[in-house]
Amino acid sequence: METFNGTGVSKGYAIGTAYVIEPCEKKSAAHTAGNSCEEAERLKGAVELSKRQVKDIAQKASRSLDGKNAGIIESQINFLDDPAFVGQAFTLIKGKNISAETAVSHVADSLYAAFSHIDDDYIKERAADIKDIGDRILKNLAGEKSGIDFENMPENTVLFAHDLKPSDTAQIDKSKVSAFVTEAGGRTSHTAILAKAFGIAAVVGCKGMLGNVKTGDKVITDGVSGTVLINPDEKELSKYTRISEKFKTENAKNTAAAKRAVYTKAGKRITVAANIGTINDLKTAISNGAEGVGLFRTEFLYMDRSDMPSEEEQFEVYKKAAQMLDGRPLTIRTLDIGGDKSLPYLNLPKESNPFLGLRAIRLCLKDTGIFKPQLRAILRASAFGNIQIMFPMISSLGELSEAKGVLESCKAELRRRGEAFDSCIKTGMMVEIPSAAIMADSFAGHVDFFSIGTNDLTQYTLAADRLNENVSELYNPMNPAVLKLIQMTINAAHAASIPCCMCGELASDEKAAAVLLGYGLDEFSVSPGAITETKSNLLKKASAGQ
């Protein structure tokens, strides 16, 4: 018996038979340059074939996945139409007289490297799409078969691979595959996201594992602890059989708990809301029991495209989200972009320290041509539901006052246009900079609610980049200094009789629940997939008197 440890990214347990997917060597890029027009035609044909293949995969995925997760595959079609991706490859072919393979490899590798180093989970996921699409186009250029045939796999298969492509993962039949194990990947990888959607165990980052497992081996996958056992003994098999049955029972209880409301022993109502980025995210959140949206990341409307979304386009999305929630609150965060999260069409200056640079509310106040169309779209949508506006990265009362001033000017514009909107729309702010937490009592009199963003608050408080492995042990949202800022913020909110929400990762941390309830946090806003578990955990903690 051999034991390997990785990161458990989808809770669950599987006892099954290993199926090892051997990594393929990339041979397609060796094609020599020919006539640029001929190379462009070759690329055009490979792109069209890739589109048909992805559409077929998305159609198959929609039969077993919800809208959000099937949309992960559908989003690849956008890249195949994106001038920044395929369009750039065509430009390289004609401008430098290089082969289609060389052009695709250059563009895919450049975009993958750029997306992989951005501190945003959503954008990192897009990096996997770029690599997947690039490999697909290269294989089609070479006439190679694309993808893996999963149809003939036996039941109770545990897949082992260096990494799983999004398009491959989406085609897996969950009635046959009971777990994924990969050497690469992290908590926000497509493998992790789709494993959760399928409801099967997954362990990623299990380094050195492929050289020690072969197809046909008996294996145990522990998606909770991140442990993988190869050829386990009878004692371990018996142990994990019991653990697996207990987990299934608990999981059924969690699902049932999602339909219940959370109250503390003192009778205080605790809300569990969702963090979303798309309408498809919202569909998943509602089905999982979300009581509203605590964070709508609007920057996703601005990504995967070559120009700014119009006011009308944004209005339609916000309106649809408000209507879907049917009176439940929809908190829309204004554009949080800039610095490390750049948009090619904005031509933002390169910064040596983007985390402390021109981003979020700073960018919007500097360029109201970006800010005003969004605010008008949100205001117009407020006529169709319970919408709240939230300003990100506020560090001073001056910034908050200026942002509210721009909002008032947008209200005046809409009145002149005769457009309907909620004149009493609530406005709040993210508390994610230490200065905002320290001065929370001053801010509280100028907003209708607070929302604590623990990811940045932790990073800024401890001066520890959460993506830097050299200081990763310092990044701890449960550090006493961070907790003190959180408590100060909640106390200031309640002193001013306004609610305080949390939409950072700490909100879904089981270990933090009792502390946050004790501080009096009013709302926990988490990812759609974490709603049922978070609500179940809060029900237990709240009933225990926390």
- Catalytically active residues are 190, 503
Say if residues 134 and 85 touch (Cβ distance below 8 Å): no
Q: How far apart are CA 425 and CA 448, in angstroms?
A: 9
Residue 293 DSSP label: E
**Residue reference for tokens 């209708």:** 448
441 CB contacts (<8 Å, ≥6 apart)?
Answer: 492, 495, 496
Q: Which of 530, 65, 68 is nearest to 274 (CA)?
A: 530
Supply 159's token pair. Answer: 């897949």
**Residue reference for tokens 């070559």:** 306
Angle of CA points 526, 279, 412, to nearest 5°: 95
Q: What is 270-314 written as a DSSP string?
A: EEEEEEESSHHHHHHHHHTT--SEEEEEGGGGTSSSSSPPPHHHH
Q: How far apart are CA 116 and CA 122, in angstroms?
A: 10
Q: How far apart are CA 397 and CA 443, in angstroms?
A: 7
Q: How far apart are CA 163 and CA 146, in angstroms?
A: 16
For the beta carbon of residue 417, count every other beta carbon within 10 angstroms: 9
Residue 220 dihedral angles phi and psi, to the nearest 5°? -120, 130
239 CB contacts (<8 Å, ≥6 apart)?
Answer: none
What's the number of CA atoms in the CB half-sphere (13 Å) around residue 476? 8
Sort 416 into a burial class: Cβ within 10 Å, 0-12 / 13-18 / 19+. Answer: exposed
Supply 173's token pair. Answer: 């039949």
Residue 63 dihedral angles phi and psi, to the nearest 5°? -75, -25
Say if residues 148 and 170 touch (Cβ distance below 8 Å): no
Q: Give the relative orientation of helices 190-198 and 67-80 as an angle to the nearest 10 degrees.
A: 150
- Amino acid at site 61: A
Q: Which of 189, 169, 181 is nearest to 227 (CA)?
A: 181
Long-range Cβ pairs for the range 463-470 (8 Å, 24+): 465/119, 465/355, 466/119, 467/119
Q: Which of 136, 159, 160, 158 is nearest to 147 (CA)?
A: 136
